[in-house]
Amino acid sequence: MPARVLVGTQWGDEGKGKIIDILSEEASAIVRYQGGANAGHTVVVGGKTLILHLIPCGILRPGKLCYIGNGVVVDPEALFHEIAALEKENVQVEGRLFVSLSAHVILPYHRLVERVMERLLGNRRIGTAGRGIGPAYRDKAGRMGVRVCDLFDRRVLREKVAVLAEQARMLIERLSEEGGLASESSSRVPGAPESGPEGEDLRVDEPSDIVESYAALGERIRPMAVDVSLELNRALGEGKHVLFEGAQGTLLDVDFGTYPYVSSSNATAGGACTGTGVGPTMMDEVLGVAKAYTTRVGNGPFPTELPPEASAALREAGAEYGATTGRPRRCGWFDAVIVRHSVRINGVSGLFITKLDVLNNVEELNICTGYSYEGEHLSDFPASLEAMFRVEPSYEILPGWQCSVNEARKKEDLPREALKYVHRIGELVGARIKGISVGSAREEMILLD
């Protein structure tokens, strides 16, 4: 398949990194189309664990070209930090990594504004990754963002930075005058924390300093800066394979997720087109990744979340700690309602199930097949956040398997119960299962035809 998109079908961290690494083998180019360094994609190869944030996982496959599309928000400091970390691991980056001239740039103001906004939201805060993602996308949509090409033009950069600095300054001034709005948000939603972060340094950087440092970072980016749309369309025209690496997941998509507890980009398959400049008619296949259970990091509704003790047990079994922030992930049963929603939104034709091994030795497995809300049965994901906070999951119970699936390499190696569990997931979400991952390493995989 020449143009293939891979998306997360839950709340992120489904194991996209591992699947992208496997699919990269067939691709000539791998491209990130949205999000930024809020992502943490883990690849385990040759006993070594590497976590990619902004750079496509394809960088770990020698000779593959990697692109950061226009839909990504690029933090140049994070980018160079990641390049240095990869080079330390003897991964060749130079000549293989390209960044869109039209991608928007994250400045320190964005990280600062994000902290202030989270504080303003108080107990309704999102629980972001703290990478400046939301404010950078807000400035993009507000038509005042700095793009990669702007870093090469001091006059433009100076004008834009002045506006962004002023915006940050006004927001912080207002916040200090009012002593924050945290205490005013009285209607605490279930699942939200009790209070906001306190005691932060809220200094606004001098615009002239930012112009200098970002113009210098721009000079370092210049050799990598290209028209990604032109390059990818050329590659596809030559019959080369391009893999579109989604970050976050469908339930974190700004349009189709649990808004406002989402990220600020289109993580869904449509984002692959708008985030790279490759048209929908060029796309051949959309693949999805789902964990065999559900996790979420940050705040917001999560109908199948387990009570604290059981959630902690699953967290320990699955090593569920954020790859970017180290935060403990909330854990729960597999939710077929949300994955079915994702299959539809993305047009998923094939689904990878990951972390099946984490469920070894669980006596009985619950799969959520629908919700009940105010006496009604819902088989689809409700748009209303309040409804999503209050739905009650309806479960189907399947027997577990009391053995390890880690050594399985073909479906016949799996215990009957494990295979049944995966097949039932496929049936409920309406997707063909393409692969089952039974461990974090590249080879711990069962590919189905």
Amino acid in position 162: A
Q: Which is nearer to Mg ion, 40 or 58 (CB)?
A: 40
Upstream peptide bond of 382 is cis (omega within 30 degrees of 0):
no
Q: Which does 355 bind (CB under 5 to 8 A by kind): ligand GDP, Mg ion, ligand IMO, none?
A: ligand GDP
**Which listed range, 22-30, 269-277, 317-325, 354-362, lies at the site for Mg ion (CB under 5 A)?**
317-325
Q: How far apart are CA 13 and CA 324, in angstroms?
A: 10
133 binds, among ligand IMO, ligand GDP, Mg ion, none (CB under 5 to 8 A by kind): ligand IMO
User: What is the footprint of ligand IMO within residues 270-299 (CB under 6 A)?
Assistant: 297-298
Specify the residue, 12 or 277, whose C-beta has the smaller distance to ligand GDP.
12
Answer for which of 6, 9, 12, 86 binds ligand IMO (CB under 6 A) is 12
81 noted as active-site residue: no
Q: Examine residue 45 and tell whether it contacts ligand GDP (CB under 6 A).
A: no
Of these partners, ligand GDP, ligand IMO, Mg ion, none, which one is at the site of residue 135 (CB under 5 to 8 Å by kind)? Answer: none
370 binds Mg ion (CB under 5 A): no
Can residue 24 be called a binding residue for ligand GDP (CB under 6 A)?
Answer: no
- Told to check if 134 binds ligand IMO by CB under 6 A, we report yes
* Residue of 41, 110, 241, 341 marked catalytic: 41
Please, is 320 exposed, middle or buried when counting C-beta atoms within 10 Å of its C-beta (0-12, 13-18, 19+)? buried
Residue 38 within binding range of ligand IMO, rule CB under 6 A: yes
18 counts as binding ligand GDP under rule CB under 6 A: yes
Q: Which residues within the stretch 322-361 sit at the binding site for ligand GDP (CB under 6 A)? A: 323, 354-355, 357-358
DSSP for 118-154?
Answer: HHHHGGG-----SSSHHHHHHHHHTT-PPBGGGGG-H
Please, what is the Cα angle at 134 between 132 and 137, to 5 degrees?
105
Among 6, 7, 8, 335, binds ligand IMO (CB under 6 A): 8
Q: Which two tokens stand for residue 124?
A: 């309704």
341 is catalytic: no
Give the number of other CB atoms < 10 A from CB of residue 404.
Answer: 13
- Asked if 33 and 271 touch (Cβ cutoff 8 Å), the reply is yes
Q: Which residue has the tokens 């004008």?
A: 159
Site membership for ligand GDP, residue 369 (CB under 6 A)? no
Is residue 89 classed exposed, middle or buried when 0-12, 13-18 and 19+ CB atoms within 10 A define those classes? Answer: exposed
Residue 396: count of CB within 10 angstroms of its CB? 13
Measured CA distances, 271 to 129, 276, 365 (Å): 20, 8, 34
Residue 311 to residue 295: CA distance in whole angstroms: 9
The rounded distance, in Å, linking the Cα atoms of 36 and 54 is: 5
Name the residue number minimizing CB distance to ligand IMO: 298
131 binds, among ligand IMO, Mg ion, ligand GDP, none (CB under 5 to 8 A by kind): ligand IMO
Contact indicator for 299, 308 with CB cutoff of 8 Å = no
**Binding footprint of ligand GDP on the chain (CB under 6 A):** 8, 12-18, 40-42, 44, 323, 354-355, 357-358, 437-440
Contacts to Mg ion by CB under 5 A = 13, 40, 323
Which residues are identified as catalytic? 13, 41
